[in-house]
Structure 1
Amino acid sequence: MGRLSGKVAVVTGGASGIGEATVRRFVAEGARVAFADRDAERGRSVAAEIAAAGGDVRFTAADVGDEAAALAFVAEAEAAFGRLDILVNNAGIRLYQTVVDASAESWDTLLNVNLKSYAYCAKGAIPAMRRAGGGSIVNVASVRSVTAGGNTIQYDTAKAAIAGLTRGLAIDHSPEGIRANAVCPGPIFTPFHARRIAAAGRSVESYNEDAAGRTMLRRPGTADEVASCILFLASDDASYVTGSLLFVDGGMTAM
């Protein structure tokens, strides 16, 4: 019996990185999982691989920054699996701008994905969780919820807002047996970072050295390590945890 046996979860941004690691971990722990991503090719590949290994998984190509698409994704997952117990909001993009450089359009682009999609998916998931007798929402925030990265004004703003959204969801819906928490990753090496490093002409070693200088554990984290913390918050092991931010940052924010 896995820690999520009998549970149904939906995960956004599930085709790569932290989202993919979470989908795989949830399936390994007995959950049936629906996940969405804008990368249809990668999403279908991940779903096919998991299904071939015996996992019960469903992929939807969707931009959850669009309210109608987000609500449809969640509704289709409940209809397909018969219930909904867990929502993991993970979809995200990053833009490199200061407030002076940022346009109204770029603000909308980032906030639609990195913040509004979290609210849209929660809007769809909470009624389904009520029908299931309760549930757990885990939002993927960041150390940028409480710090700033530099030249990422929109990303930093969205991640700070996710902390507030998490607390608001927790206080509004705890009487219904619905918990809401967030993980706040620090430097986590994912395919996104691999692409950024390559585009900048840097080596993986240089990234690791930079992370070593910014964390107590002297290294970057992995997507699997974040997924383990998401699993904890989603599972009944965290039955008395709500409204919390769990920092998965190698001690970065405590330095």
Structure 2
Amino acid sequence: MNTILETDNITRSFSGDRRTEPTHVLKGISLKVRKGEMLTIVGPSGSGKSTLLQCMSGLDAVTSGSVTIAGTAIGELNLDQTAAFRRNNIAFVFQAYNLLPAFTAFDNVALAMRMSRGSVDRAAVRSALQSVDLADVSDRRPGQLSGGQQQRVAIARALATSPHLLFADEPTGALDTEAGSRVLKLLRDYTVDGKSVVMVTHDLEAAALGDRVLVLRDGQIHGELISPSVSQVLDAVEHARRS
């Protein structure tokens, strides 16, 4: 089977109080992600990009529809099973980093590996930090690092566990141009061995690195581009804003 992830008509709504109507953030999204594919997701602010990413990864439950990863319908798992499945199959790069403040950069990366594999390959941890140019600050805690450095630790943490499927929510948002380019190359190269990346981004140059680009608008897929140029992504996003 060449598909690593599939969503079938998923919706996500948030209930208000008795006097307000529910907010419908995702409105029936069906898509597939192939093994070895980099899928990028763009769209105007408020279009549902981050919510879609969290639902696809099992971090947030869908209101209706289904999400299947590597043949497993994650909505049919209980909380403990879902957590174990995520640890063993996927990784997530958060906008907010989600690093443990009492742990060094090395230990933050090592903890993810220990939870996923049950043991730590210290050489692999060092290699992951080296790949994001942070080997020289591996003994520092998050509070001693800049926002960009913390983001790169979060990316190293995700890469170190070698997940089948890696989700990234604005992974270059806190990085300068040079560091951002290096991280994007890492994510692009990550798919070479049949692993897959799904990335939400506002950076249209980053989005154009994807094998496919999905354009979201108002919780629905507004368009799909195959290996587009930056200008084609820009045109598609502008069209979504005006529609």
Fold match by TM threshold 0.5: no
Query: Counting helix residues as a fraction of each chain, which structure ranks higher?
Result: 1
Per residue, is there more strand in 1 or in 2?
A: 2
TM-score, normalized by length of structure 1?
Answer: 0.33
